[in-house]
Amino acid sequence: MEVVANMQRRKRLIVVICIVTGIPVALGGIGLLLLCNPMLLTFLTSFEIRNESGMDVRVTPIGRWEGTGDYGPLPRYWNRTPPAIPSRRGHDIPIKAGGRLKIIYDWDDINFRHLLVRSGSGEVYITDTDKKGTLHYCYAAQHSSYRIPPLKEMQKAPDELLPCTRGEDVRYSGAADYPER
């Protein structure tokens, strides 16, 4: 009788161990499959930002989201090979004077439009990048490299876009030049 009770306890223990370890293993496998999604890899592209401003700055590459028309930081990734690992959305990224920064992002749902550049004194400037794409169709970055010129050559960024430097998406009324179709 005692042998049967011990066998039943062992069976219960094995079932509990299988459940406790099986769920995380299954979820991890699903997560790994999502990271290795070959369709995502199709939409990852990269470009370089060159800081030719002569001073250390912080940069936020922003784009216009397909469908909604909201502006926000580009959805960044660490790499373009499996597994494609998402990074935090790139906002307020430091670049030393004369430095370069490589940005990898998913262009499937966003058109790259501007660089917001924050000076050491906290003022935010804007430079246009690409003007291709519509609310209904997205394009990858049109160039492999974008330049941050001296800040005196740049315009001050509109107040409406400043939340993008904190990682937020916003509506931007100054986008009249952006084709709707």
pLDDT tens digits, residue range 94-129? 999 999 999 988 888 888 899 999 999 999 999 989
* Class level of CATH domain 42-166: mainly beta
pLDDT tens digits, residue range 41-79? 678 888 999 999 999 999 999 999 988 889 999 988 776
The predicted structure's pLDDT at residue 41: 65
Return d(Cα 13, Cα 20) in angstroms, integer: 10
pLDDT tens digits, residue range 125-180? 999 898 777 777 788 888 899 999 999 999 999 999 999 999 999 988 765 544 44
The predicted structure's pLDDT at residue 32: 65
Residue 74 burial (CB count, 10 A): 23
Contacts of 22 (CB under 8 A, 6+ apart): none
